Amino acid sequence: MTAQASSRRTPSMDAMQNDVLAEVRNHIGHLTLNRPAGLNAITLDMVRLLQQQLDAWASDADVHAVVLRGAGEKAFCAGGDIRSLYDSYKSGDTLHEDFFVEEYALDLAIHHYRKPVLALMDGFVLGGGMGLVQGADLRVVTEKSRLAMPEVAIGYFPDVGGSYFLPRIPGELGIYLGVSGVQIRAADALYCGLADWYLDSSKLALLDDKLDQMEWQDTPLKSLQNLLAKHAVQTLPDAPLEALRPAIDHFFALPDVPSMIEQLRAVTVADSHEWAVSTADLLETRSPLAMAVTLEMLRRGRHLSLENCFALELHLDRQWFARGDLIEGVRALLIDKDKSPRWNPPTVAELDSAQVASFFHGFDESGS
């Protein structure tokens, strides 16, 4: 099929406070997260607006593909608006419960979307931002991209499908990213399979122009791939995680978090001792409970379907505000900002395997 470029521009919805912008150009639906002052952190209203627009475009024959991006220079999306979820829980509201149900449904819808989705991952792509892009068909990073599932830093676990996409990264790299919460850049994102293409951020405007002028041929996905092949690359040299892979595969295959920290300090694998000690130091600042539950969740997720991974995350969510470390983490890092969270338990040495296992009780891995 061949279609000529169209100059049609149609504002598609009256977005609440314009937090999500939508328009169609040349048969492409463009969705922009538009809270740049908040690093495009997503709210429940934004989740609903995104879902509504994707549903409308799915059945619109004039829309061949969707492009996702974030407004501003700093972020695609720095995650969920965690402060609003904290306030909801503290006030006895249900916003925090509704948010995860609807956010996960949106992320799952992107994974299964019937038309190709191109995600422009410029700047920070953290937590909930990763949930939006990891189901996309074409994931583009730039030199400004910073990807992470940093939830353990605030006493939470990597959700939004993290239990599916992290353990499917080769070796133990995904376990490392989830348990440590570290950020990676473009070369590592490509190496891990968390992105597909690299493009200099200075060329994003050119890519937009090319999308506006593109002639549609064959299938929409192939047309987009052919365009990216002319302007972007699929590998970058010198991915730091490639060099660290032997060490990461050793340490993060160990049975539990205390063993990981102990061996990171005591054992040298290849030429990684400095990295290993700094990683041990980092893990000791994270919530011990969140790291332990994350490790168990990711190892279970290796063997679960995508739908069951989201179901497992929701199972954990429903207990976590009352029993996990998130409320304390948000208090220490975002509310009072004393940066001295009182984790429960306070150290990895005090982790109780029965407490960790209790979070998974009652979950049916068969999905029935």
Residue 180 lies in a domain: no
Residue 188 lies in a domain: no
* Summary mean pLDDT of the chain: 94
Q: Same structural domain for residues 76 and 214?
A: yes
SS (H, E, C) 232-300: CECCCCCCHHHHHHHHHHHHCCCCCHHHHHHHHHHCCCCCCHHHHHHHHHHHCCCCHHHHHHHHHHHHH
Model confidence band, residue 114 (pLDDT cutoffs 50, 70, 90): very high
Residue 115 lies in a domain: yes
For residue 319, pLDDT beyond 90: yes
Q: Same structural domain for residues 215 and 250?
A: no
Report strand pairing: 20-25 vs 28-33: antiparallel
Q: Same structural domain for residues 136 and 59?
A: yes
Is residue 128 part of the annotated active site? The answer reads yes
For residue 157, pLDDT beyond 50: yes
Average pLDDT over residues 22-35: 98
Is residue 188 part of the annotated active site? The answer reads no
Is residue 80 part of the annotated active site? The answer reads yes
For residue 345, pLDDT beyond 50: yes
Q: Same structural domain for residues 271 and 217?
A: no
Average pLDDT over residues 213-229: 96
Token couple for 27: 């048969």
Residue 117 lies in a domain: yes
For residue 158, pLDDT beyond 90: yes
Q: What is the dihedral of CA 251, 278, 242, 288, to 10 degrees?
A: 50
Alpha-carbon span 138 to 68, nearest angstrom: 10
The boundaries of the domain holding residue 348 are: 240-358
| From 19, 122, 137, 151, active-site residue | 151
Pairwise pLDDT comparison (10 vs 263), residue with the higher score: 263
For residue 3, pLDDT beyond 90: no
Strand partners, 77: 125
Q: Same structural domain for residues 211 and 301?
A: no
Distance of CA 90 to the CA centre of its chain: 26
* CATH code, 80: 3.90.226.10
Alpha-carbon span 343 to 346, nearest angstrom: 5
The structural domain count of the chain equals 2
**Contact (Cβ atoms closer than 8 angstroms) between residue 310 and residue 300:** no
User: Of 205, 231, 257, which closes a domain?
Assistant: 231
Residue 327 lies in a domain: yes
Q: Same structural domain for residues 83 and 205?
A: yes
- pLDDT tens column, 64-113: 999 999 999 999 999 999 999 999 999 999 999 999 999 999 999 999 99
Alpha-carbon span 325 to 153, nearest angstrom: 10
pLDDT of residue 365: 80
| From 123, 127, 128, 129, active-site residue | 128
Average pLDDT over residues 338-361: 97
Q: Among 1-10, 59-68, 92-101, where is mean pLDDT lowest?
A: 1-10
SS (H, E, C) the chain: CCECCCCCCEECCCCHHHCEEEEEECCEEEEEECCHHHCCCECHHHHHHHHHHHHHHHCCCCCCEEEEEECCCCEEECCECHHHHHHHHHCCCCHHHHHHHHHHHHHHHHHCCCCCEEEEECCEEECHHHHHHCCCCEEEECCCCEEECCHHHHCCCCCCCHHHHCCCCCCCHHHHHHHHCCCECHHHHHHHCCCCEECCHHHHHHHHHHHHHCCECCCHHHHHHHHHHHHCECCCCCCHHHHHHHHHHHHCCCCCHHHHHHHHHHCCCCCCHHHHHHHHHHHCCCCHHHHHHHHHHHHHHCCCCHHHHHHHHHHHHHHHHHHCCHHHHHHHHHHCCCCCCCCCCCCHHHCCHHHHHHCCCCCCCCCC
For residue 8, pLDDT beyond 70: no
Is residue 329 part of the annotated active site? The answer reads no
- pLDDT tens column, 16-28: 559 999 999 999 9
Stated pTM of the model: 0.94
| From 81, 103, 137, 159, active-site residue | 159
pLDDT of residue 328: 97
Token couple for 303: 């063997």
Q: Same structural domain for residues 213 and 294?
A: no
For residue 14, pLDDT beyond 60: no
Q: Same structural domain for residues 244 and 225?
A: no
- Cis preceding linkage at 240, omega within 30: no
Q: Same structural domain for residues 263 and 332?
A: yes
| From 29, 70, 79, 80, active-site residue | 80
Q: Same structural domain for residues 221 and 264?
A: no
Q: Same structural domain for residues 204 and 262?
A: no
Residue 367 lies in a domain: no
Residue 29 lies in a domain: yes
Residue 247 lies in a domain: yes
Q: Same structural domain for residues 201 and 268?
A: no
- pLDDT tens column, 159-206: 999 999 999 999 999 999 999 999 999 999 999 999 999 999 999 999
